[in-house]
Amino acid sequence: MGIREELQRLDEELDMEMARAETLANIEALRVRMLGKKGQLTALLRSMGALSAEERPKMGQLINERRERFTQLLDERQQKLQQLEQEMRLKREQIDVTEPRALPRLGNLHPNTLVLNQVVDCLTGLGFEVVEGPEVELDLFNFELMNLPKDHPARDAQDTFYIDDNVVLRTHTSPVQARIMTTRKPPIRIISPGRVYRADEVDATHSPVFHQIEGLVIDEGVSMADLKGTLDAFAKRLYGEDIQVRFRPSFFPFTEPSAEVDLTCVNCRGKGCRVCKNTGWIEVLGCGMVNPKVLDMCGIDSKKYSGFAFGVGLERITMLRYGIQDMRLMYEGDLRFLKQFR
């Protein structure tokens, strides 16, 4: 085949291949095939040695024209494809800032907090105010003014974390009673939730750090009926309208008389089960009428005023509320546990 025919064939081949080329890689391959060291046009150039001296420059010129034409066509297509690729990438990477996204997973409240919120909601609804007291507390408030005398077993160093002789980590929230009574005048209606400390070993029902909610009402003519009505509303709000409240006589130095409060078993609703040891009742808190001695020590006239107080373990009522069997779960921070409460 003569060089002219060969060139024409190459023209046709290029046109055909160009029509099919869709990617930069196709163009690059075509460039190598035509113009590369071992390319077809290059081979043609080499074959010119066989031509006569007269024909050589003419053919040389024709081949060079092809080289220029091919290069130009390939360059143009390459540019076009690069531009196209860029446009597609921009389109692909375009961000629609108005597109609504899946909501991030918000955390949820600790079961203790959920129950505390309910208690606070219920009792503020009855006119109580929420107050707080310090966790590092004076012996004076924690024990003395609560009528726990110097030789009381609760003051034993084995039960209580002492900072020094006069300062302890509070063993209950009751000292907030004394702080309020020594600084305010009746009527007083407060609840005080917070952390308390005892030198206890950790087990399914004990922890050296836990939470209580204290309640205190002082006014003229406050009676045990007010106490019972308050606790009744509290129990029904937390566990349901069918729950009853039962008082059993008990003893606390800061109340007189004192009572232990049972609720209808929230597990079997009173029928009798493992949780209530078949009694139909579960013990939940301590309470009583504020001991007149405490009132007087705190500077409130016990002849004019009377009051009631109660103290409840937050973990206890939370575990009952959700059927949690082991207190340790509440402090471990395991998300598989914590995520279950809404």
Residues lying near ligand DAH in the complex (CB under 6 A) are found at: 172, 174, 214, 252, 255, 286-288, 309-311
CB of 244 to ligand DAH, least distance (A): 20
Residue number with CB closer to ligand DAH (137 or 214): 214
Residue number with CB closer to ligand DAH (194 or 311): 311
**Nearest residue to ligand DAH, by Cβ distance, number only:** 311
CB of 340 to ligand DAH, least distance (A): 29
Residue number with CB closer to ligand DAH (143 or 281): 143
CB of 237 to ligand DAH, least distance (A): 19
CB of 99 to ligand DAH, least distance (A): 55
Question: For every residue of the chain, which 3-state class applies, written as one string?
Answer: CCHHHHHHHHHHHHHHHHHHCCCHHHHHHHHHHHHCCCCHHHHHHHHHHHCCCCHHHHHHHHHHHHHHHHHHHHHHHHHHHHHHHHHHHHHHHCCCCCCCCCCCCCCCCCHHHHHHHHHHHHHHHCCCEECCCCCEEEHHHHCHHHCCCCCCHHHCCCCCCEEECCEEECCCCCHHHHHHHCCCCCCEEEEEEEEEECCCCCCCCCCCEEEEEEEEEEECCCCHHHHHHHHHHHHHHHHCCCCCEEEEEEEECCEEEEEEEEEECCCCCCCCCCCCCCCCEEEEEEEEEECHHHHHHCCCCCCCCEEEEEEEEHHHHHHHHHCCCCCCHHHHCCHHHHCCCC
Residue number with CB closer to ligand DAH (68 or 162): 162
Residue number with CB closer to ligand DAH (254 or 281): 254
CB of 151 to ligand DAH, least distance (A): 18
